[in-house]
Every structure is written in structure tokens, then in C-alpha cells.
Copies of this chain bind each other. A is one copy, B any other.
């Protein structure tokens, strides 16, 4: 999951899905191109989404020939829990 966040394009995909979920692959592609100025191909985006799904950060459901993607940010909470849990040291 940390490796999934390491790529800027993947983080932008999460931003996009954070604004609006149930987007198809092509929708994500065109939005990345127009709103964020990224020139990635469909296949590249598809592979990025596969990484995000494997990390549990994106879930998808099929609807006919469309695959609708949504963000699943819950795994991110473990980051805060791991290092921002107010100080193991100074706690009683």
C-alpha cells in the first residue's frame, strides 16, 4: 500500500476518485488529461488502477461493459495510527 502511494499519477487518481467516485477507466483517463495535464495512456492508467486495487485503496464494480471505480481510503488510517498516535514515548 505504501508503494501504491509512491507514484504521483496514482495519487492524482486517488484525488480524482476522491472528488467523484464510480468513474470508468476512460473517465479517469480523460480527467487526468484535461484537469491535471497528464498524458498517460489508457494502459498505463489501467495498470496504476490495478496497483491501487491490490493495495485496497480502490474498489471496483462491474456494470455491463463498464467498470466503475471508487476510492477506499480506510487503509490510509493505519498510517496515522502507526506514527501519529500521540507519542508512545511521552505517554504514561
Contact = CB atoms under 8 A, between A and B. Distances in A.
Nearest to A72: B83
A49 to B, nearest CB: 16
Interface residues of A, number: 22
Interface stretch (A17-25, A32-40, A60-68): A17-25
A9 to B, nearest CB: 12
A83 B79 contact: no
A28 interface: no
Given A18-B83, A21-B89, A76-B80, 13 more contacts: A2-B11, A5-B79, A6-B6, A14-B82, A14-B83, A15-B82, A18-B89, A19-B88, A20-B89, A73-B84, A76-B79, A77-B80, A79-B80
